[in-house]
A and B are shown apart, each in its own frame.
Chain A
């Protein structure tokens, strides 16, 4: 009887062990702020997730998670249900991510675009989108007839201001007369507001429209009005085939695959990643041939130089709106300055909303 009991116990334990190891399959979770079909920010993150899946790692995602009280629950649910690595892909998830990370020291967390890494299992990552903006600025400066560049901006955070400045500096270099007009829409995704902003800019004489928001509405307005535009986050060419000169593409796939494999193989370490054209986290969609092969070649060369480090988006001398020197001649802005950028450079119209 006693032996029988022992044998039973052993087999139960064995079964338990088996089922536990079956549960322990390596899984990666993703938390999205928008729907996967937004053709912008979330869409690109989901493309990255698909690449992880294609690399043979199981993934899960939860879409349209509001950045309020719900985010913490979703992140915790993912951690609890056996996900080993969790990507939280919006700035508003910063505090919830760190909070959950504290309670799940064995789960790894990766937070996009944030700056808090309160626990050793939290990494942050973002892309040097401003390098793409430099290329847009070069094209815009060459293509504009009215010398007015319309810019639809979301929130006055360093990332957005950096983009405005990088674009303006590059445009000034090829066309000293350009002006950058900005409309702040205070949203990342609102097709209605974005198209109104695009129309307002066109009415003010802008013949180039670019956006730091995620919907395809601005490029569609530009197409209708017959002005040039640039796509954001994903290749938006098919939404405005004539108008779009190129799109800045966020390519998260290589990073997601690399980090997922590292976490699976136990080589994952906390880090703060800021990749650009060089690593391919920022990529450019095919250039519109309407801008002429000469300009395309110029831009391609600039793209190569930015990637290799031969050129830098923020090369001195750079002045702010009041004429104060920000970066001296021959110097480039360091990452600390870029990360906290909160003033416009000379040539941008208006004030940063306060």
Chain B
């Protein structure tokens, strides 16, 4: 007989093993799905998870894809750890992109080393300001930050639409919805000739390091964690709850803004309507898969980035439908949440008792 009982305390080992378990279960379930779709499971998995990163170009693409995901997820971890549900990173990314892109267009054909830092700073501030809206509304009007941040995604996307169709559209571009290509001084430098990996990865790595320092080595990090575990305790301890709400949203927004500006000054090189294939939403999966831990998020962003690349190669080589990539992302999150069950409960196998009459 199987008995499920609540654990007295959660096991640290299981806490970090469950993401691994989730990935393993995803692979097994993925193999079954491939089999049912009529593909050879192992071959399909190989094209999905190994072929995309079997050369330098693929590895570089993996990092290009993982960089924004990692940045946003790092920011989100501050919010989620302190029980603030910022769902609108996509909007903060877009707004950061708009502000950064605006500066880039302002300095069109401008020489000078300060152009790029200015654009990046503008992007971070843009994202930050946009994230402060749900925070301030939450603090002073007790609004639900999930709804506000989510709805603001559409606001920023429509604003971007308006700008690239109208006032910012390329004057030589026949009214197509895009801006000019930024000049070279406004682009993040490419690290290796022929590959697309760009200096944005350093921004991501620095923020990973800073996040780790803040969360684990400072009083502020402690406050964030305590408020996440119990708001009442935090209040009782005299933490300034309102300031902290604002602060975590600002960090989160700045990270998303940096991701946005990294995309437009990195691989894209201009503003148009599709500056992000919903990185802001996918990063939520990344944040939780990485256990809201900076190091975990680095690995999680690589894995989720791989599901994007894998979906492309699997379609090129086997004509597997493209949407399997999203299926894999969904399965990883599902299995992670499901295996969290093991965190709080333990399964005991008991012997059948023989009843005597």
A residues with a Cβ closer than 8 A to B are 29, 35, 60-70, 72-74, 76-78, 80-81, 91-92, 95, 103, 115, 155-158, 186, 340, 342, 352-354
Contact = CB atoms under 8 A, between A and B. Distances in A.
Interface stretch (B30-38, B174-182, B343-351): B174-182
A60 B316 contact: yes
5 contacts: A62-B316, A66-B274, A69-B266, A69-B268, A70-B308
A258 to B, nearest CB: 24
B303 interface: no
Contacts of A353: 165-166
A98 to B, nearest CB: 12
A73 B274 contact: no
Nearest to B161: A186
A9 B287 CA distance: 53
A103 B276 CA distance: 25
B143 interface: no
A202 B146 CA distance: 36
Contacts of A155: 165, 175-177
A77 B316 contact: yes
A156 B175 CA distance: 6
A58 B327 CA distance: 28
Interface string B146-175: 000000000000000100011100000011
A62 B312 contact: yes
A353 B161 CA distance: 12
Interface stretch (B5-13, B247-255, B317-325): B317-325
Interface of B: 57, 61, 64, 161, 165-167, 174-178, 181, 194, 196, 263, 266-269, 272-277, 308-309, 312-313, 315-317, 319, 321-323
Nearest to B318: A60
Contacts of B174: 115, 157-158, 340, 342
Contacts of A77: 312-313, 316
A66 B277 contact: yes
A68 B175 contact: no
Contacts of A67: 272-274
Contact of B274 (A68, A74, A103, A115): A68
A353 B163 CA distance: 11
A70 B277 contact: yes
A61, A91, A157 — which one has the most chain B CB atoms within 10 A of its CB?
A157
Nearest to B277: A66
B315 A73 contact: no
A158 B275 CA distance: 23
Contacts of B165: 155-156, 186, 353
Nearest to A76: B57
Contacts of B61: 73
B181 A95 contact: yes
Given A62-B312, A353-B166, A72 B176 contact: no
Closest 4 CB pairs of A and B: A69-B267, A68-B274, A66-B277, A67-B274
A61 B166 CA distance: 33
Contacts of A354: 166-167
